[in-house]
Structure 1
Amino acid sequence: MLSAIIATHESERPLVPTLAALVPGATAGLLTEVVIADAASADETAEVADIAGCRFMSSREPVGGRLRAAAASTRTPWLLFLRPGTVPEPGWVAAAENFMAATSASEAPRAAIFRPSSAADALRPAWAELLTLLRATLVGGARPEQGLLIPRRLYDSVGGHPAGNDAEAALLRKLGRRRLAMLPVGARPPR
């Protein structure tokens, strides 16, 4: 149902918590594979991916080309793009399943991002949601650190990731706010 794709470069340490956070998706049967789209790292990124059972692709292409190639190599109807170090919070599996079911039934495909984790999360959830919405409205739209859950048909219809190093942000801008929803769970950004 879902393939996770992570673009890496010298990312052995931040990759570990991201992969650990994906385990519940695999055990629930939602996540069928994880593809690591690496930029010819010299560290132990390939070994971390191998130990975790990920498929490893290495290329010297900019991030956009690596992400597009990784997406093309998968066969699932849904894609989840994450940065190494991004850690989806507990509950992400149910939130993703609910979003995917609702979107699959809709004629207008939409993508989703994780709600950013912040200090406001300690407040009541309604306040956290309001503060997140205000921040997104005033400061700008979605950020690549929030991940991207997208149906393959929408990904393909917008042309996937464009070439270049700003590909993740460019894809989010191309999707625009109307085709992006925010999942009710957050993701801790890379440190």
Structure 2
Amino acid sequence: MPAPITVVIPTLNAAAELPGSLGSLMEGLAAGLIREVVISDGGSQDRTQELAEEAGARLVTGEASRGGQLRRGCAAARGDWLLVLHADSQLAPGWAAVVADHVNAGAGNPACFRLGFRAKGLAPALVAGWANLRARVFGLPYGDQGLLLRRKDYLAAGEFPDQPLMEDVVLVRRLTSLRSLPVVALTSATRYQRDGWLRRGAGNLWTLLRFFCGADPKDLARRYQK
């Protein structure tokens, strides 16, 4: 029986972060969970594509747009389950056993992981705590928390929209019975450290509110990436 999971990672000039993300997947390969890793690249000018090929991942290329990249990557997947992971997120040790239990439980609920930052201090803990509360209470995780779901449920939900930002919000709002698994996805703190934890956190919340009010994702993405 083939391994059940296809891991899909969108990338754009992610050579500095991709090895860590791929390295965290090794225990899933050893446990027989991962059938393949699909890297959906948006035209990287660094060694991202070379690193993906060296790691034995399937490489899908196209225009840079995170939603579009995820859509193409998931379309290429052959596993019954999809594990969507950002290139700067790393699953904490022990994740494979938890995911195996979830996949084999039979319920098939979509799931996300708990957010953590690769930084220490009160501010990272507070920001991560808010993100995990939002995911648990409102069923609204962001993509840096990872997403695990059956491919048939992903297709039934309409797939990722081809847009550069908030593609994760669009998809998870269409899913039902989303669970938060007791595994931490450790993500980069670079943008928070650059902009300030309070300023970045408030900016992310403002971006979400503007999106709910109908703002164009392309305009939001331009402001988000500054």
TM-score norm. by structure 1 comes to 0.83
Correspondence for 2:163: 164
**What is the Cα deviation at residue 137 of structure 1?**
6.1
- Structure 1, unaligned stretches of length 5 or more? 122-129
Looking at CA atoms only, which structure, 1 or 2, has the larger radius of gyration?
Answer: 2
Q: Indicate whether 1:173 and 2:176 are aligned.
A: no
User: What SS does structure 1 have at the residue aligned with 2:82?
Assistant: strand
Q: CA deviation at 1:118?
A: 6.2
Residue identity over aligned pairs, in percent, reads: 34
* Cα distance in 2 for residues equivalent to 1:168 and 1:136: 12
Tell me the SS of whatever aligns to 1:19: helix
- Match status 1:19 vs 2:22: yes
Task: Give the root-mean-square deviation of aligned CA atoms.
Answer: 2.5
| Contact 2:82–2:150 (CA under 8 A) maintained in structure 1 | yes
Q: Does 1:146 align with 2:145?
A: yes
Specify the code of the residue in structure 2 equivalent to 1:185: V
Q: Counterpart of 2:112 in 1: which secondary structure?
A: strand
- Is residue 83–residue 190 contact of structure 1 (8 Å, CA) maintained in 2? no
- List gaps (5 residues or longer) in structure 2: 121-128, 190-226
The one of the two structures with greater contact order (alpha-carbon pairs below 8 A, sep at least 6) is 1
- Over 3 Å counting, the alpha-carbon distance change for 1:100 and 1:61 in structure 2 is same
Matches within 5 A, 1:38-187: 38-102=41-105, 105-106=106-107, 109-117=108-116, 134=133, 136=135, 141-166=140-165, 167-175=167-175, 178-187=176-185
Cα distance, 1:49 vs structure 2: 0.5
- The answer on whether the counterparts of 1:111 and 1:180 sit within 8 Å (CA) in structure 2 is yes
1:167-189 deviations in whole A, cap 9, x for unaligned?
Answer: 123212332xx421011111101
Letter in 2 for 1:114: F
In 2: Cα distance, 1:67 partner to 1:22 partner: 18
Match of 1:126 in 2: none
Equivalent position SS for 1:179:
coil
Match of 2:200? none
**Matched-pair contact (CA < 8 Å) for 1:144–1:172:** no
Find the aligned partners of 2:160 and 2:131 in 1 and give their Cα distance: 26
Q: Tell me the alpha carbon deviations over residues 16-60 of structure 1, each in whole angstroms, 9 at most, x when there is no partner.
A: 100000011111110111110000111100111111111111111
- For 1:139 and 1:156, locate their aligned partners in 2 and report how far apart those are by CA, in whole Å: 22
Secondary structure of the 1:97 match is helix
- 1:174 partner SS: coil
Letter of the 2:161 counterpart: P
Note the C-alpha offset of 1:143: 1.4
Which one is further off, 23-32 or 60-69? 60-69
